[in-house]
Chain A
Amino acid sequence: MRITCPICGERDIREFTYQGAAVALDRPDPEAGDEAWDHYVHLRENPAGRTRDLWYHSGGCSAWVVVTRDTVTHEVFDTELAEEAKA
């Protein structure tokens, strides 16, 4: 798998560290209650197909990248900087 970093361009997957589903873009309020936090920290949609997840370009520019990809074919559809996806 190769991932296109929005800053550095297309790079080998070895340059990236996987963080998980892109739920971190939608962090609940600290007082939202244990159910909301359980959803955020533990429960996952875990799709077979299109998914959005967060990758850290640890071997490159240190950017957090939101990757839209297919978990069945490993095809990467789209990448964007997390700070822009969140905005």
Chain B
Amino acid sequence: MRFSGLRVLKEGLTGNKGWRPHWRDPEPKSDYDIVIIGGGGHGLSTAYYLAREHGLTNVAVLEKGYIGGGNVGRNTTIVRANYFLEGNSQFYSHSLKLWEGLEEDLNYNVMHSQRGLINLFHSDGQRDAFARRGNMMNSQGDDAILLDREGVRKELPYLDFDNPRFPVYGGLFHPRGGTARHDAVAWGYARGADQRGVDLIQNCEVTGIDIENGKVRGVQTTRGAIRAKKVGIVVAGRSGQVAAMAGMRLPIESHILQAFVTEGLKPCIHHVVSFGMGHFYMSQSDKGGLVFGGDLDFYASYAQRGNLPMKEHVMEAGMALMPMIGKAKVLRSWGGIMDMTPDGSPIIDKTGIDGLYIDCGWCYGGFKAVPGSGHCFAHLIAQDRPHAAAEKYRLDRFRTGYGLMDEEGTGPQHNLH
């Protein structure tokens, strides 16, 4: 079924009886060429690009819950390519380019909105750092404009510019940054993969990984054993548990990141805005809710809910920056499990076990990476060598100390990012 304006019109005039489920719900076969563990955004996009770019369609995606039920359906939906370090900057640049052609490619409206992202700064030192970052983004071929205080005022007149502690000095504007409808991204990739013959197996939890003589043979699941020539692990916050099934220990700690959404309001925030003096970033969804988030709770957790101190910090930071939001009522908050690496950058690599690959460590930045991560992971699985855009995401960089990508400059150590 192809979506188009004409189709919407036709269905509207004929009682909307022609719509069909966007993907099948197949029984798992006993044997696949490739099994992807994890049906989140990254797993679905991996399966999609395996089929689309490499013609590999004897593929299953195993999801323990349902499609769109994890972090891909609960995040702050920000899409950007404003990284500084080599390795990261080329990867996110690659991912943003895939975003820009995604709707056409998937024939699916993911509501990708390049409304512009503004990272604010509040001191001379911060301005220098952002100017340097902007130059790196421009030299990568992406876009960045350094705004002074009046430039920011034109775009964001509602900020508290003269806050006594954190006056706004300016901002780094990334016009191609923005947001996308997170559920639609999962659904679009799921539909695209399914249409090309990939089996999406929901309610199917992997309970073991079969390895013989250093080579992967398949997986054990709650819906029976499945043989596979190659297996890809892409399970975000659960990476530690799934890797343990293959006898591996990863450089990952799982932490909670909270996010919040208010009641629907009339359009008032037209960009993605981030505060430079506390962890707070916000955009407004197309439904009108203010979607905002903060920092990690900063201790290992799988609770999928946060504690009050970070909620307080985020609300305080929001009020310091834009007091006009003070009367908006918060509808809900949630906590996602983030797979944090010591340097804050991800891993897309082989594992040392033949035929077993891993894509993990997306920390709190996985959503914008959904197209790029799937594209590069599919390339790695299909061709057994890394994609050029992800060649720095090595698993052994912590042991060797070579090629660490510590964007924040806080040190390659757990619990600092």
B342: which A residues are within 8 A, CB to CB? 41-42
B254-A48 in contact (CB<8A): yes
Q: Is the interface of A mostly helix, strand, loop or mixed?
A: mixed
A46-B300 in contact (CB<8A): yes
B interface size (C-beta, 8 A): 26
Which residues of B are in contact with A by a Cβ distance under 8 Å?
238-241, 244, 249-254, 298-303, 307, 309, 342, 398-400, 413-415
What 1/0 flags go to A22-44 for Cβ under 8 Å of B?
00000000000011001101111
A48-B302 in contact (CB<8A): yes
Q: How far apart are the CA atoms of A29 and B253 in the complex, in Å? A: 24
B307: which A residues are within 8 A, CB to CB? 1, 13, 74
Q: Is the interface of B mostly helix, strand, loop or mixed?
A: mixed
Q: Residue A34 contacts which of B250, B253, B399, B413 (CB distance < 8 angstroms)?
A: B399
Which residues of A are in contact with B by a Cβ distance under 8 Å?
1, 13-14, 18-21, 34-35, 38-39, 41-48, 51, 53, 55, 71-74
Closest Cβ of chain B: how far from A56's Cβ, in Å? 12
A-B contact count (CB 8 A): 72
B398-A20 in contact (CB<8A): no
Closest residue of chain B to A38 (Cβ to Cβ) is: B399
B241-A44 in contact (CB<8A): no
A43: which B residues are within 8 A, CB to CB? 249-251
A46-B309 in contact (CB<8A): no
A53-B300 in contact (CB<8A): yes
Closest Cβ of chain B: how far from A35's Cβ, in Å? 7
Closest residue of chain B to A67 (Cβ to Cβ) is: B299
Given contacts A19-B415, A71-B302, A73-B303, contact A44 B251 (CB under 8 A): yes
Q: How far apart are the CA atoms of A73 and B212 in the complex, in Å? A: 36
A39: which B residues are within 8 A, CB to CB? 249
A13-B414 in contact (CB<8A): no
Q: Sample 22 A-B pairs with CB under 8 A, ordered by A number.
A: A13-B307, A18-B415, A19-B415, A21-B253, A21-B300, A38-B399, A41-B342, A41-B398, A42-B398, A44-B250, A44-B251, A44-B252, A45-B249, A46-B239, A46-B240, A46-B250, A46-B300, A48-B240, A55-B299, A71-B300, A71-B302, A72-B302
